[in-house]
Structure 1
């Protein structure tokens, strides 16, 4: 037909060899995708599929390569024995890459062992009352040999020799005012506070609310007048085990700005950075 032209395509053996290795080692394509490329250039022989795949693998690891081109009918595969195999670029050398991975893995293992030795030595100087806290912070399992969390908390506070701007326990008002209270006296203090600051009518209303309304408890050690204050936004700082205080607040209220500032400073003074940051990460 007039105007019709015939197009001839040729496949360069060196190009296919280079392309397959780049797909495999540089681009990280699926192994079977790379094999499909190679096998598509290896038809017309009497070799079985297993033999063809083995030859294709030889191309990838440098023990064989394509050469010539199809247009000149010189396209073929050349295989090499141990003495003839040419050097291939390091990025295509699977054995070099594997050796590098092994080297990096060994270095990582040595570094891990070094840090573990440092960790074990450091733990020898950590008081037993704090060992579980260190384990918890570093993601290690808690060791029952070092006592319960209650004992840990108590010992941690007893061994704290730093002087702080406030006592450990008390009531924190919504305006940020902290009222220091001795351990175990929070309920008595709350009762006295209501008597001193509420009128007779307000005290009667508070008593009705405490005894009749089925007020939700905010903690295992909160009742009566203490409940009343917590419901109105007060924060109780106490700890049944006499450890560092745990803030107890109304779960339906957020800390006020003044309360957050006080609590952050309170915990930072005591070396409790995690607890200090948690004040600003509160959720309902």
Structure 2
């Protein structure tokens, strides 16, 4: 089966910012978290996938064929995008009227899914779009996206403006959307709890480049914080160690990106770890960003 997304050397320049070249493959059945600091190119990447921008280099394939203007209707019928706004043609329209307008564009529209989601997300069909709060507008966009039964779901900061209850419902619905089906989700987020709950793969984007693609569970298994009674200078150069610092009592706290190799090296030197803990995902991404700065500099 062809990947749902296949990006090969795609690049795009926007004023003084350059995205790419990017290489990324997303198979069906995967939820991919796109993470990175503001200005890394996450929204630009989504715009390329949606055909709102065209790459100046390389290619993008969706659903097994090259994405091009001639396939725009087909791609958009199979893809759902939830961004910052719902972009209505008339803000005085009600939720029900806007749903009726949107649903006409999708032969796959599922009215039962819409009714279930609008009820669960407490959408008032009589409410005018201009009267919706940011959170309610996000709920509406999400419900519309899932109701046309897409194969690819693109979510740009999906929990922005949501209260914790709506956020939990969204997490559950995304899992249900993926349950046993040939679909994929790409979610751009700053919320690490979303990454932990949802992601199979983590794509770390920084300064317009993909720094790395990681299996989430493997990443969390590999990165560990280890305390030893030996000084930092004795462990700083061990395999896998990305940071080491002195702690009270003369010992060291080290962070490793390859816990197995580091622990094996400690055993070889007769050093017994005092304590080992998982590294928080936020800290892993910070270390990855710092490593990339050292390799490539901090400017694009």
TM class by shorter chain equals under 0.3
Name the structure where helix makes up a greater proportion of residues: 1
Normalised by the length of structure 2, the TM-score is: 0.23
The answer to which structure, 1 or 2, has the higher relative contact order (CA under 8 A, 6+ apart) is 2
Larger radius of gyration: 1
